[in-house]
Amino acid sequence: MTAKKFSPIYFALKMLKTIASAEDYDFAIGDLEETYLYMAETEGAKKADRWFWREVLKSLPGFVKNGLYRRTAMIRNYFKIAFRNIIRNKVFALINIVGLAVGMACFILITLWIRDELSYDKFHVNKDNLYMLTIIHSNDVVDPNVPYALAPRLADEFPEFVHHTRIYRLGNLRSCMFKSESGDGAPVMFYEDSIHLVDPSFFSMFSFPFISGDSESALQNPNSLVITDEMATKYFGNENPMGKVLTLNNRDDLVVSGVIRIPPNSHLQLDFIAPLPDRLTNDWNWRDPSYVLLDANASVAEVKEKIAGALSKHSPYPFADTLKVDLLPFTKVYLDFGRRTYVTIFSLIAGFILLIACINYMNLATACSANRSREVGLRKVMGAKRLELIQQFLGESILMSALSLGISLILVRMGLPLLNSLTSKQLTFYLLGSHAMYLYLFALVLIVGLAAGAYPAFILSANKPADTLKSSLLFKSKKSSFRVVTVVGQFVISILLIACTAVVFRQLSYVQNRPLGLDTSYVIKVPINSILLGSLGSYEDMLRQNPNILNVTAGQSVPFNEDYKTSGVEWDGKDPQLSPNMRYSIAYFDYIETFGMEVVQGRSFHRESAADVNNFLINEEAAKYMGMEDPIGKRLEFWGVEGSIIGVVKNYHHVSLHREIMPHVFSINPRNYRSLRFIFIKIAAANIPETLKYIRETTTTFAPSYPYEYSFLDQGVEDLYQAEQKLGKIFSAFAFLAVFISCLGIFGLASFTAEKRTKEIGIRKVLGASVSHIVMLLSKEFSKWILIANVIAWPIGWYAMHEWLENFAYRTGLDPLLFVFAGLLSFAIAALPVGYHAIKTAVADPIDSLRYE
């Protein structure tokens, strides 16, 4: 007779049986059950039940306490053994801990970076309902710039659009200067290019924190201006900027109505924000980014469907049929336009590094398993179950990973400033006060510990006690195919990383050294202003009076990064269905000459020829695009101005080398001169300071009410590829660390094999083997592994790099020599530790080695 099944008492009994460790209190629970049944018979079930619960409550704490005591006794033993092992194998333990610590530090640093990348634009309250309007071209290219009329039209038509704003990038179109005369001294003035005009609902959509002013009233007046705290300091120092006047281009007085702070993890970095005039509501031509706020209850898929054909419906242009309007979630904008690749690459590297460190642990632990087989055997004889042994070894690896975490936290602290300076970010790492961080680190320790320890625990616990205890001298050196796989795997990763680093650097130097097709040396750039623009001719003449000034021209942007596209081009014989997609330069006389561009057909613009202001130059690509064999003299219409093509310019790189050279039109029509933003002055290499002084004096004489700034164009070229350079550096740093960690592992394995074969080598030497022979013998195995690794790594590396290079329109070829180089380097890296141990063992006195044990 037992307790009724599935009564609470039945379960309580079950529970007690599991809590009270089985053998210990078995009889006590037996007593409980026996007495309970007896009482139930003699004194009634109710009383027995009451008694039973009272007993359970009273005895439970005792059971738990005793159970814990017994369990910790074993755990204490595990700890003791683990620490003894660390102390006994100092080198191996050090390799493991250093490897894991460096690996974890890299992992944490990269996660911090990735977390920051992923945090972009997430601080907006409306982030889930904010979208960017995009246009998908027929070739699947996503264009972030949409016509001005689109957003207001959609908002009128569909109630799902709660708010919308366009961002008119004024600073990119005109030369802009702000002046503040509020201080006591001379006016503070600077040229600015981050000036944006937005719709009034801008601050209802985005939640940029206001330091002064408020989101409701900030953009109410047409002459209001919201600035960032940085700009407030730049123009007003410590004074309160609210209500102060900033004059735009000496003409428009704008009143500061708000100061905001734009967090670094916002892809919108707007220094000046002013209200957008209404006049652009019908402009289907000009394009800039537009953002919309959808109703929280609206179905995004439905809205997308509804707006897809909006352009073909409203746009007056016939080609609009091929364009699809789409919505891109606001939080994805930053990643989707350029950053996603980097996030993926760095996540991969982080994973690889951690994997390599874990493999080190696995290999060393299994390699040393022979040394611990006797411990395992004895434990088994004493009644340890396999599961308990697995627990023990897993516990050891987790302990190891916890120790490593401690060191890695110090490394992270040291490495963070370095990473910050390389990424120009302000990443922080605070342990305290962040539960998520604790959880993350705890999970990291656990995952690393389990990943590294699972296989060794499995192998070590599998030892048969009879075998291991039978003979202490005879332990078979089991050929572990797993170890071969992991070591080869490590080398594959290392070779891959070395090869990739080499290719990345080759591409970067290729980009920097590739002839752009134009000469930017000794060209300085001076921002233009309305006065200079008004007297461009006389200003230019004045400059040219200096013999050291070789040429003067003007343009809308630097010639190597001139990303202005238009569809407003017509020519004879153009397919009426074609929507032209061409780049253009609004330029001035001598544009071609100043930058040393080559005219391959026809001629450049001539001052003497009055008609040239209506004529055009095109580049080779444009001639091809328009299908003109001999374009000279052909009619061309650009933004409604008719003229003829007078020359063809040799292709040059007008945007970064990521992108292809596009058809390009050059116009010097004065109608568009207000788009000119810079004067470009080519100077002689001699007497530069004097020439610069002359330019400054001339410019300030002409336009005393404007600031004077200048910069060399070469610097601009460098800046264009700076981001890539920095990423290249970070990439190589992490690649180096990964190689370092796998090197540590090889060092450990090499020393282990050498140690294990000490006796064999002693005997070989006694029998007359030479040192070189023994070194060969010891390094043969590793060489084989590396060879296999190379064979695996090369095709993978080739494929991956091929894909990456596809990002660049202009790229270096994949030189097979680079892979050979990576292979040789990996060989050299492995040869160092392996050779060190091989030589050390080989030259050792055989007497010592034979006496070993």
Interacting residue ranges for another protein, rule: CB under 8 A: 1-3, 13, 25-35, 37-38, 54-55, 58-59, 62
Beta carbons within 8 Å of 777's beta carbon, 6+ residues apart: 764, 838
- Report the relative pairing of strands 272-275 and 224-228 from DSSP bridges: antiparallel
* Euclidean distance between CA atoms 782 and 740, whole angstroms: 17
CB of 32 to another protein, least distance (A): 6
* Euclidean distance between CA atoms 561 and 154, whole angstroms: 33
Q: Count of alpha carbons within 13 Å of 380, Cβ hemisphere only?
A: 19
CB of 55 to another protein, least distance (A): 6
Q: Which is nearer to another protein, 56 or 824 (CB)?
A: 56
Where does 213-251 show beta strands of DSSP type E? Answer: 224-228, 245-248
CB of 18 to another protein, least distance (A): 13
Q: Which is nearer to another protein, 34 or 815 (CB)?
A: 34
Cα Dmax for the chain: 127
CB 318 within 8 A of CB 173: no
CB of 68 to another protein, least distance (A): 16
* Euclidean distance between CA atoms 525 and 680, whole angstroms: 5
Q: Count of alpha carbons within 13 Å of 362, Cβ hemisphere only?
A: 25
Q: Count of alpha carbons within 13 Å of 751, Cβ hemisphere only?
A: 15
Nearest Cα neighbor of 726 from 716, 715, 734 is 734
C-alpha dist (Å) from residue 519 to 203, 558, 559, 584, 662 = 44, 12, 10, 19, 19
H/E stretch holding 133 reads strand 130-136
CB of 49 to another protein, least distance (A): 16
Q: Which is nearer to another protein, 25 or 202 (CB)?
A: 25
Q: Which is nearer to another protein, 32 or 805 (CB)?
A: 32
CB of 394 to another protein, least distance (A): 33
DSSP letters of 494-553?
Answer: HHHHHHHHHHHHHHHHHHHHS--SS--TTEEEEE--HHHHHTHHHHHHHHHTSTTEEEEE
Q: How far is CA 4 from the centre of its chain?
A: 63
Query: Sheet harboring 523-527: ordered strands across?
Result: 549-555, 678-683, 523-527, 711-712
Beta carbons within 8 Å of 352's beta carbon, 6+ residues apart: 493, 497, 738
Q: Which is nearer to another protein, 7 or 299 (CB)?
A: 7
CB of 34 to another protein, least distance (A): 5
Q: Is 810 exposed, middle or buried (0-12, 13-18, 19+ CB in 10 A)?
A: middle
Q: Which is nearer to another protein, 62 or 627 (CB)?
A: 62
CB of 77 to another protein, least distance (A): 21
Q: Which is nearer to another protein, 62 or 534 (CB)?
A: 62
CB of 380 to another protein, least distance (A): 24
Where does 314-463 show beta strands of DSSP type E? Answer: 324-329
Q: List the structure tokens of 625.
A: 């695009």
Q: Which is nearer to another protein, 27 or 736 (CB)?
A: 27
Q: Is 55 exposed, middle or buried (0-12, 13-18, 19+ CB in 10 A)?
A: middle
DSSP letters of 671-709?
Answer: GGGGG--EEEEEE-SSSHHHHHHHHHHHHHHH-TTS---
Q: Which is nearer to another protein, 32 or 617 (CB)?
A: 32
CB of 1 to another protein, least distance (A): 6
H/E stretch holding 192 reads strand 188-192
- Report the relative pairing of strands 195-198 and 272-275 from DSSP bridges: parallel
* Euclidean distance between CA atoms 206 and 187, whole angstroms: 33
* Euclidean distance between CA atoms 135 and 144, whole angstroms: 7
CB of 6 to another protein, least distance (A): 15
Q: Which is nearer to another protein, 55 or 143 (CB)?
A: 55
Q: Which is nearer to another protein, 63 or 638 (CB)?
A: 63
Q: Which is nearer to another protein, 2 or 428 (CB)?
A: 2
CB of 72 to another protein, least distance (A): 18
Q: List the structure tokens of 846.
A: 């055989």
Beta bridge partner(s), residue 275: 198
Determine phi and psi for 497, rounding to 5 degrees.
Answer: -65, -40
Q: How far is CA 757 from the centre of its chain?
A: 46
Q: Which is nearer to another protein, 11 or 799 (CB)?
A: 11
CB of 17 to another protein, least distance (A): 8
Q: Which is nearer to another protein, 1 or 387 (CB)?
A: 1
CB of 379 to another protein, least distance (A): 25
Q: List the structure tokens of 756.
A: 């294990």
CB of 45 to another protein, least distance (A): 16
Nearest Cα neighbor of 585 from 617, 611, 537, 612 is 617
Q: Which is nearer to another protein, 70 or 261 (CB)?
A: 70
Nearest Cα neighbor of 729 from 420, 477, 483 is 420
Q: Which is nearer to another protein, 22 or 94 (CB)?
A: 22
Q: Count of alpha carbons within 13 Å of 675, Cβ hemisphere only?
A: 19
* Euclidean distance between CA atoms 715 and 722, whole angstroms: 10
CB of 383 to another protein, least distance (A): 17
* Euclidean distance between CA atoms 123 and 262, whole angstroms: 10
Q: Which is nearer to another protein, 2 or 545 (CB)?
A: 2
Q: Which is nearer to another protein, 59 or 265 (CB)?
A: 59
CB of 16 to another protein, least distance (A): 10
CB of 40 to another protein, least distance (A): 12
